[in-house]
Amino acid sequence: MDFLRPASWEEALAAKAEHPTAVPIAGGTDIMVEINFDHRRPEHLLDLNRITELSEWEVGEESVRLGASVPYTRIMEDLRAELPGLALASHTVASPQIRNRGGVGGNLGTASPAGDAHPALLAAGAEVEVESVRGTRLIPIDAFYTGVKRNALAPDELIRAVHIRKADGPQQYSKVGTRNAMVIAVCAFGIALHPATRTVRTGIGSAAPTPVRAEAAEEFLNAALEEGGFWDSGKIITPSVAKQFAELASGACNPIDDVRGTARYRRHAVGIMARRTLGWTWEQYRGSGRTLEGAA
């Protein structure tokens, strides 16, 4: 196995163009497991660790441009205000050691339906900035996941950054696992209230072949909140609306039975998490959250 160690982003893109089957390595917390277990033996490993800009981020007016290799620990500690949903999801990833190494670029590269960043990115609204020697493109997060552990990257492309919309309202992330730490999700749910546009977005993890949004649930809730004047009044969401939202979220799942849980359990748990996270975020919105932009 050849180890390519580009010193700059340009060198990395050139190396990927020359060796399209080269496998990038960032934190290594996914790829090294595969190599150690002999599940994969790539001809070339493309080490991205010398490219410092991949571990940097910029906070803009409307979004955060998060370098592909920014570790979860930094998101938790430095970007909690801008990206609360992703910060909460980051907290649930593995252990401090893994969170110091692993990042969102690697989670997207692996594109496991159980990756914890995905529901938070789907709920917040994000675009993946990918680049090759041919140029740069922004892939909407909804179009990024193309199958089980498959993504929309072309063979010569690398992930440069993720553009994530800054929170304009409360966000939550909930994960079911067999214990509180070092656990891959049995299923997970992310929600983001967007008072500025009077919309709610969601993300479901580990309950379909890819991470997905509960679109029918979002549409139902958006209409119910608008028609009932909830955004203006901040009144409590009626149990029937919350129940219908939960049922539609459950219906968005297309899970399988596996070692971590049954399909039936996953559907049920996603409904529970949808109802709970809606309750938590709405309570936050009714309180301090309502002073946020667009809610006045």
- Please pick, from the candidates 116, 127, 131, 156, the single residue that binds ligand FAD as defined by CB under 6 A: 116
Of 22 and 278, the one with the shorter C-beta distance to ligand FAD is 22
163 phi and psi, to 5 degrees? -95, 115
Position 152 contacts ligand FAD (CB under 6 A): no
The CA distance from 68 to 154, in Å, is 16
Position 48 contacts ligand FAD (CB under 6 A): yes
Q: Tokens for 265?
A: 């359990």
Of 26 and 246, the one with the shorter C-beta distance to ligand FAD is 26
Q: How far, in Å, are 25, 115, 234 from residue 5 at the CA level? A: 10, 27, 54
The CA distance from 203 to 231, in Å, is 21
- Considering only residues 63 through 102, tell me which ones interact with ligand FAD, judged by CB under 6 A: 68, 93-94, 98, 101-102
- Please pick, from the candidates 103, 169, 203, 255, the single residue that binds ligand FAD as defined by CB under 6 A: 103
Q: What mask, x for binding ligand FAD by CB under 6 A, covers residues 174 to 213? A: --------xxx-----------------------------
Q: How far, in Å, are 16, 32, 58, 103, 202 from residue 40 at the CA level? A: 18, 9, 34, 21, 33
Question: Least distance (Å) from ligand FAD to the CB of residue 96?
Answer: 11
- Please pick, from the candidates 6, 85, 105, 195, the single residue that binds ligand FAD as defined by CB under 6 A: 105
Position 25 contacts ligand FAD (CB under 6 A): yes
* Cβ-based neighbours of 5, under 8 Å, separated by 6 or more: 47, 50
